[in-house]
Chains A and B, each alone.
Chain A
Amino acid sequence: MNKSIHLTIDGKPVEAKHGQTIMQAADAAGIYIPRLCSHPDLRPIGSCRVCTVIVDGRPQAACVKPAMDGMVIENDTPELLQHRRNIIDMMFVEGNHFCMFCEKSGNCELQAMAYRFGITAPQYPFQFPEKAVDASHPDIMLDHNRCIMCARCVRASQELDGKNVFQAIGRGFHRKIGVDGEKALADTDMAVGDRSADVCPVGCIIKKRIGFRTAIGRRLYDRQPIGSDIEANATP
């Protein structure tokens, strides 16, 4: 079992350990596979499909698929870029993303992904759906207009906080994040120190009174594309 795993990503040889996913092996090798629902501290669920790679000719979610010996993986191809852009575009038109006044702007993973892919405008018609804002909690705001249904908050609440504040409810286009079913956030045991208040990739779960603290130009993704930290580990 200790024999190490050898695979290639875009032709580059990569060594992986047993039990690693394709994404973990790629990260360690300094190869960035774009992702949204995956978070290093949470169990992967493979739901957003932004991390799709082609493994031996078949599409697979890199965040859940275990690395196996001899895999030939494609990551950085025009087809996969197009597939990932399509998902990002859908997330923009299916929500209401007004980046110009969003507290998360500059630190948002959805926005950063669109920047990385060079998206200047989505290719699909805007839906402008009606979504609610829950500002009931004294320290935390929930703006469903910006939710991308990654379920990070659901997993963080259960796995890291030992609570069950968030659940996904409804089906299809009406699917949304519920708090203890249909309650308001103030009626739950959510606390501002919970990890579930930290993991949201977008501006849906927002801590009050700390927005816009970082000057434009110094925010996370103002100068460096998302994934640059991983790519900095690349061996030549």
Chain B
Amino acid sequence: MSKPRVATTSLAGCFGCHMSLLDIDERILSLIERVDFDRSPIDDIKHISQRCAIGLIEGGCCNEENVRVLYEFRKNCDLLISVGDCATMGGIPALRNNIPLQECIDEAYRTGVTVYNPDDITPQDPEIPLLLNRVYPCHEVVKIDYFLPGCPPSADTLWAALTALLSGQPLELPYELLKYD
């Protein structure tokens, strides 16, 4: 029987959740015995190649590309998990959510005190994904099956969730593993 596949991605996140995943230390050896990794920044596979059992989403949606990636994961994963505070509630990127987008861009590229931009250029290359009006938690864009909050969720939290789901158990975190910080 082929192994279940796990895909992961980092949208509007800082890769801290992925670092936390690597922080399971030597347990990663037993993880790769039980699963195959599909699309993930860990193996640099660019698109999901076949049906996956679990998709781990780090980060919320701050631009149109994030939304496309999230759709790809929802379409191809049986279970989709929001990992970390950015995926669950927007997180640090969502600090911009009550500031108009133009003000954010001006602050970053034109008026900020450390900005050096003599030609007054703001990024507008078609290669650069368009920013959304605000940052959205993943479950406000697609259906999410489970949430693992935390900034980042600890390695033990990720391990407990993955082992429970891979053995078909319900995901019930013990008290010490549910944290928002």
A interface list, Cβ under 8 A from B: 92, 96-102, 105-106, 111, 114-115, 118, 120-122, 125-126, 128-130, 216, 222-225
Interface residues of B in 60-119 (CB under 8 A from A): 82, 85, 88-92, 94-95, 97-98
**A121 contacts which of B82, B175, B181 (Cβ < 8 Å)?**
B82
B98 and A99 form a contact (CB under 8 A): no
A223 to B151, CA, bound (A): 17
Which residues on the B side are within 8 Å of A106 (C-beta)? Answer: 181
A121 and B147 form a contact (CB under 8 A): yes
Which residues on the B side are within 8 Å of A97 (C-beta)? Answer: 89, 180
Which residues on the B side are within 8 Å of A98 (C-beta)? Answer: 85, 91-92, 95
B181 and A102 form a contact (CB under 8 A): yes
What total count of A-B pairs have CB within 8 Å? 69
In the assembled complex, B137 has its CB within 8 A of some CB on chain A: yes
Give the number of residues in B that approach A within 8 Å (Cβ atoms).
29
**Known contacts A114-B180, A115-B180, A128-B90; can you find 12 more A-B pairs with CB under 8 A?**
A99-B181, A100-B85, A100-B180, A105-B180, A105-B181, A118-B172, A120-B88, A121-B88, A121-B144, A125-B140, A126-B90, A128-B134
A110 to B147, CA, bound (A): 19
B181 and A118 form a contact (CB under 8 A): no
The 9 A-B pairs with the shortest beta carbon distances in the complex, nearest first, are: A100-B151, A99-B180, A120-B147, A128-B97, A121-B147, A130-B98, A105-B181, A121-B88, A99-B181
